[in-house]
């Protein structure tokens, strides 16, 4: 008699194909041809392109290539529908969204099969992962619609949202985009990826059945040209994009200066770290879910294995053995682990990258598996021996290809993990919770999974650091992406201008009479520094008289300031309590010299409110000192045995260009929230009235503010903002000096390294108003959320 183990080891898998009958019948019923879904009506099919089953190359249906005119019509429908959708109220919207969720569950099997046919991913995944998460997303966000008036009372819907998604999770990405947008009272113009639009077509039917009012959801199929038309459409208030970093950059550039809100969920090269004390068998299974889930076509795929040297050989042996057992074949077969790639073009790209590794002498391991004759397939692949700089170690391969490296110590693991331009996700495997929770905050990634991988839930925000994009999907933070603070509507149309300094003098060489006394230097690394160019500029008072000179900062000065800011890492590691203490201390020292500061403001600007401005600045310092240890994260309870901890982490180094009005209060209102949360800053104070900032040097020096936390470079706002926006070591740039062109330029230039931006545009801001210059909206600009998943159990 064979033992059970022997039976299990010798059992052959029999095919267990899922029926496509219902999905094929639905396609037939639709004539295998689709128009566009605008205003709850289907347009006649237009210029057509085929949707292909990547597993066998068979044509499934024809779709319409939308045009700019179609986007126009869709935006008009969405605009017309938005007030009514908003007016339906939270409960009204919640009911409709609940109905969508119910219908998605009811038709889950049809959706899952259609998704598998269209995308090539296995039915196991569409049935067990994609569809449950889609339904959950609508349920969860129906809840936010219900609670909106209570939980987001200071916010309103943004308006009309343009949404563009990729092909790797066609329906799930649709849900991630559409659910929060609708919950918040927005209407949408949605574009699926050209390879995979069929489930979006079916979703349109569901919207009608669920009672979504006409114009609330509009779906335009087509390629990147439709995306471009959406991006540049003036009737759209916010863009939400998921896809390649390359296209994300284009979208950032194209929408710069348009005033559109923007969230980008882009590529990744996520590390999967295995420490020597990890449960190695569990880690192997985690890796299977991490890099072979959806054929590795996952933005947060754990594509870089970092394994501790002491267990490297053992772990790789286990991994290769597991790879040998992975099943690859018809995605409709319920016993398959790996399905087809979405398109031959992806296969070519992956092949090219793997070949580059072979050419460089790497070892490429692929289990002997037979690839189906038709369609796009690629075997699970393990690459060892690659250098950290190799293309396969740096580029997003977006396929079932894992690159393995080793490390010796935890700091080395962190350093390797962060050796990428991306920052989407990371996995940490160890049985030592102290080690895991020490490493997780050190990794620059928006999601960290401890002893688990590729977990998602509607309650937990998802999104990247660095070039993996910005904005979050899911959770409370995801809702803010689709809301606008009502205080923004109250902003004055233009900055409230103080009487201008008479002549804006050309830079003069420093060194004239009295120049030594009256030239304020720059402030870099806690020290006053002469400007690199040895030039200064004259600052005149409201009455035209000369007051003083300030240094004319240049590119090199910014570089030095950024270096100093990067060195001040102790500030980020300091406790929030300590940061608050320093802010209080600055306030105290400013108060001690209040009269002097008021006199300076009055001399520069002619303001009659100078004392009031100083008092407001002191209060603002107290305000952000108070916030420093209260802008807490959250502990989410997703449907798993464990918690997800959402931490508000600082961005790093922020470049700030301050407003001209309220030169002290404007400066403090921007610098205080940034440093309260642990960022370091390089600040360009008011170009016209910079002396309130240069007078602060001594205040800082006597307030225990560590060197390098605040660096101040005076000079031309335009020139210095440009330098900040193009500097590769700055994480975010804020510009609030009322220059519309300047703000547009900052947004455009930020695309290079995908910096976060916060710009005021041409509008003014009442810096005295806490609603306009304070609150969670400002703190959100100074931070990014990291979700750390911590399952329980042994
Ligand atoms: P893509 O970024 O070109 O496409 C994503 C979406 O953007 C599609 O709907 C597409 O039609 C649209 N699009 C294309 N050009 C556009 C433009 N100029 N303006 C507006 N929308 C535009 O991604 P693609 O070409 O499908 O895949 C290429 C590579 O991108 C993949 O190999 C992978 O490395 C990466 N990728 C990353 C994804 C992620 O989730 N992070 C998803 C898809 C692709």
Pocket test for ligand 1, best of 119, 173, 247, 445 (most atoms within 8 A of CB): 247
Q: Whose CA is closest to atom 20 on ligand 1? A: 227
Tell me, in angstroms, the distance from the centre of ligand 1 to residue 559's CA: 34
Residues paired with 239 in a beta bridge:
162, 262
Give me the pLDDT at residue 149, please.
Answer: 97
Give me the pLDDT at residue 501, please.
Answer: 45
Give me the pLDDT at residue 497, please.
Answer: 63
Residue 72 CA from chain centroid, whole number: 28
Pocket test for ligand 1, best of 243, 445, 465 (most atoms within 8 A of CB): 243
Tell me, in angstroms, the distance from the centre of ligand 1 to residue 244's CA: 5
Tell me, in angstroms, the distance from the centre of ligand 1 to residue 202's CA: 22
* Axis-axis angle for helices 108-119, 198-210 (nearest 10): 160
Pocket test for ligand 1, best of 193, 196, 244 (most atoms within 8 A of CB): 244
What is the C-alpha separation between 263 and 644, in angstroms, rounded? 22
| 248-256 long-range Cβ contacts below 8 angstroms, 24+ apart | 248/469, 248/754, 249/751, 249/752, 249/754, 250/751, 251/164, 251/227, 252/747, 252/748, 252/750, 252/751, 252/754, 253/748, 253/751, 254/228, 255/231, 255/747, 256/744, 256/745, 256/747, 256/748, 256/750, 256/751
| DSSP state at residue 303 | -
- Can you read off the two tokens belonging to residue 62? 């024809």
Give the position, in ligand 1's atom list, of the atom nearest the Cα of 195: 26
Tell me, in angstroms, the distance from the centre of ligand 1 to residue 245's CA: 8
Query: What CATH number should be reported for the domain whose range is 271-463?
Result: 3.40.309.10
Give the position, in ligand 1's atom list, of the atom nearest the Cα of 164: 9
Mapped onto helix, strand or coil, the DSSP state of residue 611 is: helix
ipTM associated with this complex: 0.97
Nearest CA to 121 among 63, 87, 182, 172?
Answer: 172
Q: Whose CA is closest to atom 9 on ligand 1? A: 193
Give the position, in ligand 1's atom list, of the atom nearest the Cα of 399: 32
Tell me, in angstroms, the distance from the centre of ligand 1 to residue 168's CA: 10
Burial track 482-506 (b if 16+ CB lie within 10 A, e otherwise): bbbbebeeebeeebeebeebeeeee
Give the position, in ligand 1's atom list, of the atom nearest the Cα of 468: 41
Annotated catalytic residue 498: no
Q: Whose CA is closest to atom 22 on ligand 1? A: 224
Query: What CATH number should be reported for the domain whose range is 20-266+479-484?
Result: 3.40.605.10
Q: Whose CA is closest to atom 38 on ligand 1? A: 243
Give me the pLDDT at residue 507, please.
Answer: 53
Give the position, in ligand 1's atom list, of the atom nearest the Cα of 349: 32
Tell me the CA distances in angstroms from 667 to 102, 166, 617, 656, 781, one per residue in order.
51, 41, 9, 9, 16
Give the position, in ligand 1's atom list, of the atom nearest the Cα of 395: 34
20-266+479-484 and 271-463 in the same fold: no
- DSSP, residue by residue, 50-95: EEE-TTT--EEEEEE---HHHHHHHHHHHHHHHHHHHHTHHHHHHH
Nearest CA to 394 among 360, 436, 442?
Answer: 360
Q: Whose CA is closest to atom 36 on ligand 1? A: 244
Residue 35 CA from chain centroid, whole number: 32
- Can you read off the two tokens belonging to residue 137? 């997303």
From the candidates 18, 125, 194, 265, give the one annotated as an active-site residue: 265
Element (H, E) at 551: strand 546-551
Tell me, in angstroms, the distance from the centre of ligand 1 to residue 345's CA: 13
Nearest CA to 791 among 294, 322, 428, 476?
Answer: 428
Could you tell me the pTM of the whole model?
Answer: 0.96
Residues with CB under 6 A from ligand 1: 164-168, 191, 193-194, 223-224, 227-228, 231, 242-244, 247, 250-251, 266-267, 299, 346, 349, 396, 398
Give me the pLDDT at residue 502, please.
Answer: 45
Q: Whose CA is closest to atom 24 on ligand 1? A: 244
Give the position, in ligand 1's atom list, of the atom nearest the Cα of 267: 41
Q: Whose CA is closest to atom 32 on ligand 1? A: 398
Give the position, in ligand 1's atom list, of the atom nearest the Cα of 254: 19
- Can you read off the two tokens belonging to residue 410? 């935890």
Tell me, in angstroms, the distance from the centre of ligand 1 to residue 535's CA: 47
For tokens 């969405």, what's the residue? 78
Tell me the pLDDT tens digit for each residue of 617-674. 999 999 999 999 999 999 999 999 999 999 999 999 999 999 999 999 999 999 999 9
Q: Whose CA is closest to atom 16 on ligand 1? A: 224
| DSSP state at residue 13 | P
Tell me, in angstroms, the distance from the centre of ligand 1 to residue 551's CA: 45
Half-sphere exposure of 351 (CA within 13 A, CB side): 10
Q: Whose CA is closest to atom 27 on ligand 1? A: 244
Residues paired with 710 in a beta bridge:
681
Give me the pLDDT at residue 622, please.
Answer: 98
Domain map of the chain by residue range?
20-266+479-484, 271-463, 509-782
Tell me, in angstroms, the distance from the centre of ligand 1 to residue 686's CA: 40
Mapped onto helix, strand or coil, the DSSP state of residue 540 is: strand
Instruction: Please state the CATH superfamily assignment of the domain spanning residues 509-782 in this structure.
Output: Aldehyde Dehydrogenase; Chain A, domain 1 (3.40.605.10)
* Axis-axis angle for helices 594-605, 610-628 (nearest 10): 120
C-beta separation of 527 from 533 below 8 A: no
Q: Which residues of the chain have pLDDT under 70?
A: 497-517, 794
Give me the pLDDT at residue 794, please.
Answer: 64
Pocket test for ligand 1, best of 164, 166, 260 (most atoms within 8 A of CB): 166
Tell me, in angstroms, the distance from the centre of ligand 1 to residue 394's CA: 18
Tell me, in angstroms, the distance from the centre of ligand 1 to residue 334's CA: 29
Mapped onto helix, strand or coil, the DSSP state of residue 12 is: coil
């Amino acid at each position: 008699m064979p033992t059970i183990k022997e039976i299990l080891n010798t059992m052959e898998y029999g095919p267990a194909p899922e029926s496509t009958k219902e999905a094929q019948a639905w396609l037939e019923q639709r004539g295998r041809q689709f128009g566009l879904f605008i205003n709850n009506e289907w347009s006649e099919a237009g210029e057509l392109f085929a949707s292909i089953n990547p597993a066998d190359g068979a044509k499934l249906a024809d779709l319409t290539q939308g045009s700019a005119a179609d986007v126009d019509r869709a935006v008009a429908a969405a605009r017309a529908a938005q007030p009514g959708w908003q007016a339906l109220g939270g409960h009204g919207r919640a009911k409709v969204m609940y109905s969508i969720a119910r219908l998605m569950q009811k038709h889950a099997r049809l959706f899952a099969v259609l998704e598998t046919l269209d995308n090539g991913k296995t039915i196991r995944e569409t049935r067990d992962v994609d569809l449950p998460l889609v339904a959950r997303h609508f349920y969860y966000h129906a809840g936010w619609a219900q609670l909106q008036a209570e939980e987001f009372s200071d916010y309103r819907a943004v308006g009309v949202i343009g949404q563009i998604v990729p092909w790797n999770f066609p329906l799930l990405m649709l849900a991630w985009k559409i659910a929060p947008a609708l919950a918040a009272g927005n209407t949408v113009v949605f574009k699926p990826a050209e390879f995979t639009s069929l489930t979006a077509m079916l979703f349109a039917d569901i919207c009608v059945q669920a009672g979504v009012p006409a114009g609330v959801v509009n779906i335009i199929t087509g390629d990147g040209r439709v995306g471009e038309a959406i991006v540049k459409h003036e009737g759209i208030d916010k863009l939400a994009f998921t896809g390649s970093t390359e296209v994300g950059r284009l979208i950032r550039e194209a929408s710069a200066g348009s005033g559109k809100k923007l969230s980008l969920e882009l590529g990744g090269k996520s590390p999967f770290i295995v420490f020597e004390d990890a449960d190695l068998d569990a880690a192997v299974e985690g890796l299977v879910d991490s890099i072979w889930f959806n054929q590795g076509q996952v933005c947060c795929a754990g594509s870089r294995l970092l394994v501790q040297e002491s267990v490297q050989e053992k772990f790789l042996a286990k991994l290769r053995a597991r790879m040998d057992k992975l099943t690859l074949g018809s995605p409709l077969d319920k016993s398959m682990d790996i399905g087809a790639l979405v398109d031959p073009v992806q296969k070519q790209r992956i092949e090219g990258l793997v070949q580059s590794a072979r050419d460089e002498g790497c070892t490429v391991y692929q289990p002997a598996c037979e690839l189906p004759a038709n369609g796009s397939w690629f075997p699970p692949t393990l690459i060892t021996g690659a250098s950290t700089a190799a293309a396969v170690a740096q580029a997003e391969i977006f396929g079932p290809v894992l690159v393995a490296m080793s490390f010796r110590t935890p700091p080395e693991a962190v350093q390797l993990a962060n050796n990428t331009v991306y920052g989407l996700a990371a996995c940490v495997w160890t049985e030592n919770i102290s080690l895991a929770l020490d490493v997780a905050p050190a990794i620059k990634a928006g999601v960290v999974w401890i002893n688990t991988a590729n977990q998602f839930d509607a309650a937990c925000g998802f999104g990247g650091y660095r070039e993996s994009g910005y904005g979050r999907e899911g959770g409370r933070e995801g809702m803010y992406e689709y809301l606008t603070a009502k205080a923004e509507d109250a902003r004055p149309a233009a900055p409230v201008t103080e009487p201008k300094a008479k002549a804006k003098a050309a830079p003069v060489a420093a060194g004239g009479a009295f120049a030594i006394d009256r030239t304020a230097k720059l402030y870099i690394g806690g020290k006053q520094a002469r400007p690199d160019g040895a030039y200064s500029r004259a600052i005149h008072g409201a009455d035209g008289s000369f007051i003083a000179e300030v240094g004319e900062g240049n590119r090199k000065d910014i570089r030095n300031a950024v270096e100093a800011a990067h060195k001040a890492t102790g500030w980020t590691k300091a406790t929030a309590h300590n940061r608050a203490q320093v802010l209080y201390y600055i306030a105290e020292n400013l108060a001690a010299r209040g009269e002097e500061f008021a006199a300076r403001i009055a001399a520069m600007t002619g303001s009659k409110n100078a004392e009031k401005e100083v008092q407001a600045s002191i209060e603002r310092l107290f305000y952000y000192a108070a916030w420093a240890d209260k802008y807490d994260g959250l502990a989410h309870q997703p449907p798993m045995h464990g918690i997800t901890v959402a931490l508000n982490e600082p961005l790093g180094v922020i470049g700030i260009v301050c407003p001209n009005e309220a030169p002290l209060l404007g400066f403090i209102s921007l610098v205080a929230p940034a440093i309260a949360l642990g960022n370091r800053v390089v600040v360009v104070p008011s170009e016209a009235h910079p002396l309130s900032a240069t007078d602060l040097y001594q205040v800082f020096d006597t307030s225990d503010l560590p060197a390098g936390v605040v660096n101040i470079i005076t000079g031309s706002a335009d020139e210095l903002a440009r330098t900040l926006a193009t500097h590769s070591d700055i994480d975010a740039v804020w510009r609030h000096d009322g220059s519309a062109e300047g703000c547009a330029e900052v947004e455009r230039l930020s695309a290079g390294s995908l910096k976060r931006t916060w710009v005021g545009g041409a509008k003014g801001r009442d810096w005295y108003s806490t609603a306009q210059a304070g609150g969670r909206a400002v703190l959100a600009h100074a931070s990014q959320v990291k979700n750390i998943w911590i399952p329980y159990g042994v």
